[in-house]
Amino acid sequence: MKAHNAGYDSALTGHVFIRLAHFYCLWKCSSPNIKPFHLLDYFREFSKFRNCLNLIRCSISHINLSNSDPKSKRPQWIVVKTRDKIRVKTPPCFSCVKCIWECER
């Protein structure tokens, strides 16, 4: 079993964040004269995402720790289709949505 190196993981996460911030700033930049960006430029562009936590497979896309949460943009129901056309037990993560099984249509 390979040991987990948290220092490497955090350094790589920071590197990816800075790269994405740079590409985001380039994309948002409307000036034809592109100047080198500073770290404060990245923080300024990402300030609208401050205190927001991304949520996966939830009824909302993220939670905001400093303001109210956004309204859900995800559907209230989901169509589930299995290969064998049989109904399986609904996972607990789908408790907030109505599952419509393809075999019952």
Give mean pLDDT, residues 17-27: 88
Q: What's the distance, Cα to Cα, between the start and end of the chain in Å?
A: 47
**Residue matched to tokens 């109210």:** 68
Q: How far apart are CA 76 and CA 99, in angstroms?
A: 9
Cα–Cα–Cα angle for 14, 15, 19, rounded to 5 degrees? 115
Does pLDDT of 51 surpass 70?
yes
pLDDT (0 to 100) of residue 95? 61
Does pLDDT of 10 surpass 80?
yes
pTM (2 d.p.)? 0.50
**pLDDT averaged over the chain?**
77
Give mean pLDDT, residues 64-84: 74
pLDDT (0 to 100) of residue 16? 92
